[in-house]
Every structure is written in C-alpha cells, then in structure tokens.
Amino acid sequence: MSKRILLAVLAHPDDESFGLGGTLALYASRGVDVYLVCATRGEVGEVPPEMMKGFRSVAQLRESELRCAAGILGLKGVHFLNYRDSGMPGSPDNVHPQALAAQPLEDVAADIVCYIRQVKPQVVLTFDPIGGYYHPDHIAIQRATQRAFEQAANPAFAPEILPVFAPERLYFHTMPHGFMKLAVKLLPLFGRDPHKFGTNGDIDLTAIAAMDFPTHARINIRSVLEKKEQAGACHASQGGGRMGGNLVGFFMRMFSGTERFMRAYPPFMQGEKVSRDLFS
C-alpha cells in the first residue's frame, strides 16, 4: 500500500484539537489521508447560553465546532459512532442507556472495526489507558479501539462488516509528564488545588501526574502549531481560544511544540530509539 493513511479514534468534539491536533495537522500537511472517528457529539458539555443561538442542541453546536476544526486541521473525513456523551466520573450521565461508557466493549469495538476496514489505515491513534485524565468516555473508547485494532484482521470478529484488514501500528497519545508534575507543584502557589482542577473542579491532576506512560514517539508539531491553535479556537463553547492568557495557558505553550505517543503495537523492543515519525 503506497498511500499513507492515519485514523484517530476519540471520544468528543474538541479531543482532536486540544489533544493530538498538531499531529493530525502535521500528517495531513504531508499528504497523509487523516481520518477521525468521534464516538459522541459531546451532548453533556457545558455551553454558555449565548453560544446556543442558531443551534437546536449542544450536540449540534459541538458537531459544528468539530467540522470547523477538521477543516483547519486538514482531515479527509470525520465519522461519528452516535453514542451519547457520558459526562465526568460519577455523574448520572454515566448510566444513560446510550452513554458511551455504558456500552458493551465488543459492540463499540465492532463499530470501530467497521471504520478500520473501510479506511484501511496503517496507523491508528487513541487515548492512553487512563483516557488522559480519567474521563469515562476516553477510557471506554481507548479500550474499544485497542480491541478493534486487535480484531480488525480476524474474520470471525464482526464477519458481516467488510473484508478484514490489519493495521500496522497502534499508538496512545500521552500527556507530557514533566508538565503535569510541574503544574501540580506550581498551582498551589497561585491558590489553585491540583486535586480539583478544571471548570467544575472534577479533574485530579495529582492522579494524572502519578501515571507515567513511556514515550516511544515524539512528534515535532512546531510547524503546524498555529493550525492547532486555530482548530482549538473553533471549540469556543469549550474554552478554545480562551486559555492563552492564564497560568495553564502559559505552561501549555512551554510544552506545546511536541506531542508524545506510547506505541502499543508492535511492542517497543529494548534498544529501540524513540521515533520521530509514527509511520517509520
């Protein structure tokens, strides 16, 4: 196969921009066909009332923001799995019948297998095993994507869904551990509790900083950093474009030139060097 194809499988609109948007933009700019599978439309995301003008629902608004970001990043295709946003851990939305986090693993994996077999990517990207910051949807889609990657070439798995296909590489996007540890130390100096971070105080940065996943690939995104920031600004309802002046925005810019990945498959072997290219 001569054409290079990359598939990212994520949970919500904005995950593609705030997280690994630089990598998606970089490979798209290099002529790679970059596709996104988004599991939900972010139905339970909090949105300022004034931003709802012209939209029937939060889901419609957030899908529109994702389409905006996809155009800037250069994505070739965006596909939705049509599950419902599960909200943060412990919220009633976790057990909604259509919530992503409440779905059987095999069912979600079969949905992802459909797109793997359709798109035929050499490289598949998703979250790390804790979903970046322990979001139930991030963890659910990470597990389902790993299962789908393993089963896409199995003719006995979802045999009714297209001919089998075996992608070559699976990577997990990981948080910059040094940044997280630094943030945990510095936030108290500015009156912020790292155990209760975020708009709703429901993100525990100390728990995130305690997880140190290995880095097997470092992707230099400085050449497309402006695109990543522009794509993030499309997600205005979720704070995109409004982080640059605060403390977190300052430190994020310090660590924003590189995006890091752990290679789940093939296994990273002793003596291998950290890669600068997900396809190499």
pLDDT digits (tens, 9 = 90+) for 159-168: 998 999 999 9
Residue 62, pLDDT score: 97
Confidence of residue 205 (pLDDT cuts 50, 70, 90): confident
Q: What is the domain partition of the chain in residue ranges?
A: 5-174+214-265, 177-213
| 118-122, 204-208, 240-244, range with the lowest pLDDT | 240-244
pLDDT digits (tens, 9 = 90+) for 11-41: 999 999 999 999 999 999 999 999 999 999 9
Contact 278, 265 (CB under 8 A): no
Residue 177, pLDDT score: 72
What predicted TM-score, i.e. pTM, was given to this entire model?
0.91
Chain-centroid distance of CA 153 in Å reads 24
pLDDT digits (tens, 9 = 90+) for 138-148: 999 999 999 99
Q: What mean pLDDT do residues 175-199 have?
A: 75
Q: What mean pLDDT do residues 217-225 have?
A: 96
pLDDT of 48 over the 60 cut: yes
Separation in Å, CA 17 to CA 24, 139, 147, 248: 9, 18, 24, 17
d(CA 42, CA 60): 9
pLDDT digits (tens, 9 = 90+) for 56-115: 999 999 999 999 999 999 999 999 999 999 988 888 889 899 999 999 999 999 999 999
Please name the residues in contact with 159: beta carbons below 8 A apart, sequence gap of 6 or more.
Answer: none
Q: Average pLDDT, whole number, for the chain?
A: 90
Top-confidence residue, 249 or 19: 19
Top-confidence residue, 112 or 2: 112
Residue 23, pLDDT score: 98
* Nearest in space to 51 (alpha carbons), one of 40, 65, 38: 65
Q: Which residue is it, tokens 């996104």? A: 36
Residue 195, pLDDT score: 74
d(CA 60, CA 63): 5
Chain-centroid distance of CA 202 in Å reads 19
CATH number of 5-174+214-265: 3.40.50.10320
Length of the chain measured in residues = 280
Residue 187, pLDDT score: 74
d(CA 67, CA 74): 11
Residue type, 69: A
